[in-house]
Amino acid sequence: MISMRRADRMSRGLVGVALLLGGGVGWASQQPAWPPDPPFREVRVETRVEEYARRLRTLYRTAESLAELGDFEEALRYYDEALQLQQQHRDRRGMSFTFMAIGDTYLFRMGKPEPSLEAYAQALALKREIKDRKGEPEVLHQMAYAYYVMGRHEEAERLYHQVLELARRVKNRRAEGNALNGLGNCQLARGRAQEALAFYEQALPVRKKAKDERGVANTTYNIGRAYMALGQTARAIEYFTKALELRRGLLDVRAEAETHFDLARASAQANRLDEAVRHFQEAAQLARRTRRPRLEVMALYAAGAIELGRARAEAAIVLLRQALERARGGSDFRREHRLVLTSLGSAYFLAGKYGEATETYGEGIRAAHADGDRFLLAELLLGLGQVQAAQARYRYALACYFQAQRLVPEANASLAQVLERHIRELREQLGEERFMEIAAEARTHGIGLLRELTGVERW
């Protein structure tokens, strides 16, 4: 993603090229040994430069518009076309901007840090070739952030320190703020929230002095994250709310979506559940607009889980069904898919919709079984067992409970205790003699009963 600031800098560079070429013609016309160039020659030079700048601006704007619409591959194609045009004109400074834009598209739009690093490395080589010392820290910062996204925090931290040193040397406040913010991110990722907060508090005034509005919004948001990690929920809500206002002012919809999500999490921790649900729903809507399906699924799931916890079954069903629809549309959302099915099955059960609950738990069990998720499989079997018990289908209920017991790891005492409690309650309800009779049948024919319920052939 190329920023307007970077595009403006590129335009100023093009104006400089025009002046340089125009100046060269003027110098030649003043030499006594040569006749003056005809006037149309200078006009043609200026026209060529203007045409180059116009074509380049068109390519950049088209690429940015396509990226906003989510057509990232087509956006990259236009950036490549811009790169070829710059190569023809030997515009190394412009090429460095384009490589940055390509890297940003991979990193921030597509979530692919590896190819972004390749683009940034080429941008860095060009910056060093043309001795653009002020532009070098920005490239190093993006590379550091790519390493941070990849979880390679030591490499990211090393680069951020380089950026900080270089930025202070060339008095680049924007880059200095970026580096301090990045160092805070690395500390927070390592679980050092207090150290992270110290870096963020250094970054904020630097970014304000640099008039880096987006940077101020990002650091304000990060201070909220640090307070969340420190367990200071009220302060987290305070900073997330400030960040939300700033990001709205910048029309940064993607960042606004994640701010709503974290503000919802903080509100839920503070037991402000109506606010939490509202912010999760806002996050889901904005995530959908900006084509961030995973964030959309998790926001809808979280809102549904809150409603389920408040025994608002119908509201939970509406939200969780939306989450399920989105999760089914993504091949990478297998874990999210199973989580949503577990909660949706519980919501149907709470609403007394036993047929829908059985069907939903069955789908979840098939997915968890296929992926080898033993713990979630045990949870789903527990839920399915409860649905069967509520319908007096005790053989099926016990078959589910007994299979879940075999799956539960010994370390997971809480789920094991819940299973024991349900089995004990069923024993008390049925009486010892009848319970033992049904339990024996459930153990003998358990696999067949489970196959009938879930469609899973092999247990």
State pLDDT tens for residues 60-96: 999 999 998 889 999 999 999 999 999 999 999 999 9
What is the percent of the chain with per-residue pLDDT over 90, rounded to a whole number? 82
pLDDT at residue 396 above 90? yes
Under DSSP, the state recorded for 225 is H
Q: Where residue 416 falls among pLDDT bands split at 50, 70, 90? A: very high
Residue 12 banded pLDDT, cuts 50, 70, 90: very low
How is residue 133 annotated by DSSP? T
Q: Read off the pLDDT band of 23 (50, 70, 90).
A: very low
pLDDT higher than 60, residue 417: yes
Residue with tokens 């199973």: 338
Q: By mean pLDDT, which of 29-33, 41-45, 375-379 is the weakest? A: 29-33
Domain coverage including residue 94: 1-27+37-132
Cα 304 from Cα 179, distance rounded (Å)? 38
Task: Report helix, strand or coil for 373.
Answer: coil
pLDDT beyond 80 at 47 = no
Q: Report the C-alpha gap between 165 and 132 in whole angstroms.
A: 16
Note whether residue 281 is domain-resident.
no
CA atoms within 13 A on the CB side of 28: 14
CATH number at residue 59: 1.25.40.10
Residue closest to 339 by CA, chosen among 350, 352, 323: 323
Among candidates 390, 278, 285, 405, which has minimal Cα distance to 345?
Answer: 390
Which pLDDT score, from 0 to 100, does residue 14 have? Answer: 38
CB 364 within 8 A of CB 347: no
Q: Distance between CA 95 and CA 101 in Å, rounded? A: 10
- In-domain check, residue 327: no
pLDDT score of 6: 46
Q: Among the listed ranges 207-211, 242-246, 368-372, which one has the minimum average pLDDT value?
A: 368-372
pLDDT at 30: 35
Q: What integer pLDDT is reported at residue 409 of this predicted model?
A: 72
> In the predicted model, is pLDDT for residue 5 greater than 50?
no
pLDDT surpasses 70 at 418 = yes
CB-based contacts of 114, cutoff 8 Å, min separation 6: 150
- Residue 126: pLDDT above 70? yes
Number of CB atoms found within 10 A of residue 167's CB: 25
Residue 1 within a domain:
yes
Give me the mean pLDDT over the 145-151 stretch: 96
Count of alpha carbons within 13 angstroms of residue 366, beta-carbon side:
12
Identify the weakest region by mean pLDDT among 10-24, 183-197, 325-339, 399-413. 10-24
| Average predicted confidence (pLDDT) for the chain | 90
Question: Quick check: 186 and 179 in contact, CB under 8 A?
Answer: no
**Start-end of H helices in 69-152:** 72-88, 92-104, 113-129, 136-149
Structural domain includes residue 346: no
The answer on pLDDT for 263 being more than 70 is: yes
Long-range (24+ apart) CB contacts under 8 A made by 387-395 are 387/345, 387/349, 387/354, 387/357, 387/358, 387/361, 388/358, 388/453, 389/422, 389/426, 390/349, 390/354, 391/354, 394/426, 394/430, 394/438, 394/442, 395/438, 395/441, 395/442, 395/445, 395/449
Tokens of 32: 């006594």
Does residue 91 belong to any structural domain of this protein?
A: yes
pLDDT of residue 410: 56
- Would 405 be classed as within a structural domain? no
Q: What is the pLDDT of residue 37?
A: 40
Domains identified in the chain, total number: 1
The tokens describing 70, both together, are: 């989510």
**Residue 234 pLDDT more than 60?**
yes
In a domain, 330, yes or no: no
* Structure confidence at residue 4 as a pLDDT band (50, 70, 90): very low
Write down the pLDDT at residue 28: 33
For the record, the structure tokens of 69 come out as 């619409």
State mean pLDDT over 293-298.
Answer: 96
Alpha carbon distance, N-terminus to C-terminus of the chain: 49
- Residue 46: the pLDDT is 55
60 vs 81: CA distance, rounded Å? 10
**Best CA proximity match to 193, nearest among 214, 222, 221:** 222
Where is pLDDT greater, at 76 or 26? 76
pLDDT recorded at residue 24: 37
